[in-house]
Structure 1
Amino acid sequence: MKILVTGGTGFIGKALLPHFNHEHLVVLSRNPNRAYQQLGHHIKVITCLDELPDFNDIDVVINLAGEPIVNKRWSDRQKEVICQSRWDITRKLVEKIKASTNPPHTFISGSAVGIYGDQKSASFDESLEVNNADFAHLVCRKWEEEALAAQSEKTRVCLLRTGIVLAKQGGALARMLPAYQLGLGGPIGSGEQYFPWIHMQDMVKGILFLLKHPEASGAYNFTAPNPVTNKEFSQTLARVLHRPHILKTPAWLLKMGLGESSTLLLDSQRALPGRLQEQGFHFSFPKLEHALEETLS
C-alpha cells in the first residue's frame, strides 16, 4: 500500500507515521531535511504536489496539514494563514484525486470539534448540524466541504473532527504542564465548559481503524467517550501531578490576552464519538485520569 501524508512532521503526523514502517510512504514537507531527521530515511519526501504527475499509484491520502490554530492571537492576517493552510492544500489534493483515472481508495482529512461551536452542557454526536458565524466553525466547515468534494464511487472520504489530543510532547497539554508543575494550574473561566479530549494513542489507533474498515466514511468525532468539564480536567491534571489546585483564570483576562481565539478555551463541546463506537472501535483510554497517568508517566 502506498500512502501520501501531508502534515507528517506535525503533532499527530509524527505519532502516526511510525505505524506505517512497512508501507511505501510519501510525505509532503517544505523542509525535507527536517522530515528525514524526524521520520527516517525509509520515506520519500516531496516539497510540492506537482512532483507527483497524478495519484494513480497512491492508495491512501491522509491530510493532516494546517497552521496551529491556538499558537497566536487571531489577527486578520493570522486568520487568513489558518484558513488557507487548510483549505488550499485540501483543494489541491482533491484536484489530484479527481484528475486520476485510478484514484486513491481512501482520503482521510482533518477537521476539529470546533465545527460545532459552543454547545453549553448538551452532549452530541456527529449527527448534530450547526450553522453559525464563529471563526472556528467557518474554518472547519469549509475545510470539510473541500475534502468531501473527493467523494466518489472510487474514493471514500473520512473526516477527523478532533478534540484536544493528549500527549506529553506537543499540543495543548504540553503548554499547560509548566504552570501545573509549579502549582499554578486551575480552571479557565467558569470551568463548566466541556473539554473534549482524546489520548494520542487512541487518535492514532482511530485513524488506523478507519483505514482498515472500507465501509467507514463521513465525519467522525475523535474524542474520548467521557468528556469532562474544564474544571474536572484541571482538577484531575493537578491530582495526577500531585500539585495544588487553587488558582483560576478569569474569562475576562483570557479574552483580554487572547482576543477572539479565547473562544477555543471558553466554548463548550460535550462531543461524543458516536460513529466510531457504533462501528466497533474500542478506546484504550476512555477515562481521563488513566489517560493523563499514562501520558505523564
Structure 2
Amino acid sequence: MKIVIAGGSGFVGQKLTDTLLNEGHEIIILSRKESKIDGNIKYVKWLQKGIFPENEINSADAFINLAGVSINKGRWTTKHRNQIYASRMEATDELLRIISALQTKPAVLINASAIGIYRASEDNVYTEESQDYADDFLGRTVMDWEKKAASVESEGIRVVFMRFGVILGLDGGALPLMVLPYKLFAGGTVGTGNQRVSWVHIKDVTRGIAFALDNTSLYGPVNVTSPFPKRMKYFGKTIGSVLNRPHWIPVPSFAMKIVLGKKSALVLEGQHVLPEKLLDNGFKFHYPTLESALNDLYNKDV
C-alpha cells in the first residue's frame, strides 16, 4: 500500500515506518522540513503557509496520524498542555483538509489515541465498549481528537482510533524514566502501588497498527494494550527483577506531585484496559506478559 504518515519522526512513528517498510509498503512522511526522497521514504513538507502536500501525494491507500507534542516530555504547565492539545487539533485539521482535497480518497485513517480517555480507577475494567470517560485534561483532549478525526467517515473512509496504553520502548515513552531509579539502586513502589498500568511493547504497537491497516473489520476505538495489565507495585518489582536491582525505596504520591505537577497523574493514576477488539479479530501479541516485554527490551534470556 501507499501509506501517508503524519508524525513519522516521533517515537512510535520511526518504529512504525521500519515495520511498514519491511512489509513492502510505500511510505510518505509529512514533515516540517524540506520535501525529499531518502531511500524508500518520501518526505513531503506540510503545516506551513502556502504549502499544499496533496499536490505531491496525489493519492494514498491509507493515512496514519501520529502527530502531536509528546505528553511524556516536559512539565504539564498551562503552556505545555495548550501545546499538547493544539498540536493534535491543528495537525488533524490539516490532515483532513489534505484528504478532502484528494480526488481518490484513502480507504482508511488510523488515528492515534490514548487510554487516558477512560476514567482512572483501581477496579474498573475497560474495553472498547466502555464509555466511562475521564473529565480531565487528557480525557478531554483524547475525546476531542477522536471526534475531529471521525468527521472523515462522512467521506466513506474507515476510521480507527488506536488507544495506546503505556508504551514500553528504550527510545521514548515512559519506560526510560520509570527505569532510571532502578539503575540508580533507588527503585521502589510509586504512590500507593495499587494503580493499574495498562502497558504494551512498542513492537506490538507497530504490529497492531499494521494489523488495523489490513483488517477491514476493525473500526472505531481499538485498545492497544497487553492482555495482562499489572498494578504499579508488581510493575516496579518486575523492573527490579529484570535489571537485577532492588525494589525498596517507595516514592510517595506527594513527592511525585511536587516533581511532576499535574503530569504526575500519568503514574499515580491508572486504568485496567483490555484489547478486546484486537484479540477478537485474531491479533497475537508477541509480548503479552510484562516479563517477556522487559526481557526483550533489555536483552535478557527468558
- TM-score band, normalised by shorter chain: over 0.9
* 2:297 corresponds to 1:295: yes
1:45 alignment counterpart: 43
Q: CA deviation at 1:5?
A: 0.3
Show structure 1 runs of 5+ residues with no match. none
Q: CA deviation at 1:47?
A: 2.0
2:4 alignment counterpart: 4
Question: Percent identity, aligned pairs only?
Answer: 35
Show structure 2 runs of 5+ residues with no match. none
Question: Are residues 54 and 115 of structure 1, via their aligned partners in 2, closer, same or farther at CA, if it must alter by over 3 Å?
Answer: farther
Runs of 4+ deviating beyond 4 Å: none
TM-score by length of 2: 0.92
CA contact (8 A) 2:110 2:160 kept: yes
Is 44-53 or 107-116 further displaced after alignment?
Answer: 44-53
1:254 alignment counterpart: 256
Code of the residue aligned with 2:170 in structure 1: it is K
Alignment of 1:42-121 (within 5 A): 42-48=40-46, 50-53=52-55, 57-121=59-123
TM-score by length of 1: 0.93
CA contact (8 A) 1:55 1:102 kept: no
Q: CA deviation at 1:131?
A: 4.1
Q: What is the alpha-carbon distance in structure 2 between the residues aligned to residue 277 and residue 233 of structure 1?
A: 23
Code of the residue aligned with 2:13 in structure 1: it is G
C-alpha distance after superposition, 1:189-245 (max 9, x if no partner): 001000010011111111111111112111001000000011110000100111111
Question: Are residues 193 and 32 of structure 1, via their aligned partners in 2, closer, same or farther at CA, if it must alter by over 3 Å?
Answer: farther
Q: CA deviation at 1:56?
A: 5.1
1:29 alignment counterpart: 31
RMSD: 1.8
1:231 alignment counterpart: 233
Q: CA deviation at 1:287?
A: 0.7
Q: What is the alpha-carbon distance in structure 1 between the residues aligned to residue 39 and residue 207 of structure 2?
A: 24
Task: Classify the secondary structure of the residue corresponding to 1:198.
Answer: strand
Q: CA deviation at 1:153?
A: 6.0
2:175 alignment counterpart: 173
Code of the residue aligned with 2:40 in structure 1: it is H
Task: Classify the secondary structure of the residue corresponding to 1:224.
Answer: coil
Question: Are residues 285 and 228 of structure 1, via their aligned partners in 2, closer, same or farther at CA, if it must alter by over 3 Å?
Answer: same
Question: Are residues 188 and 31 of structure 1, via their aligned partners in 2, closer, same or farther at CA, if it must alter by over 3 Å?
Answer: farther
Q: CA deviation at 1:148?
A: 0.6
Is 151-160 or 204-213 further displaced after alignment?
Answer: 151-160
Task: Classify the secondary structure of the residue corresponding to 2:63.
Answer: strand
2:242 alignment counterpart: 240
Task: Classify the secondary structure of the residue corresponding to 2:152.
Answer: coil
1:14 alignment counterpart: 14
CA contact (8 A) 1:117 1:267 kept: no
CA contact (8 A) 2:192 2:253 kept: yes
Equivalent pairs counted in the alignment come to: 293
CA contact (8 A) 1:4 1:26 kept: yes
Q: CA deviation at 1:32?
A: 4.9
1:282 alignment counterpart: 284
Code of the residue aligned with 1:45 in structure 2: it is Y
Match of 2:136 among 120, 134, 137: 134
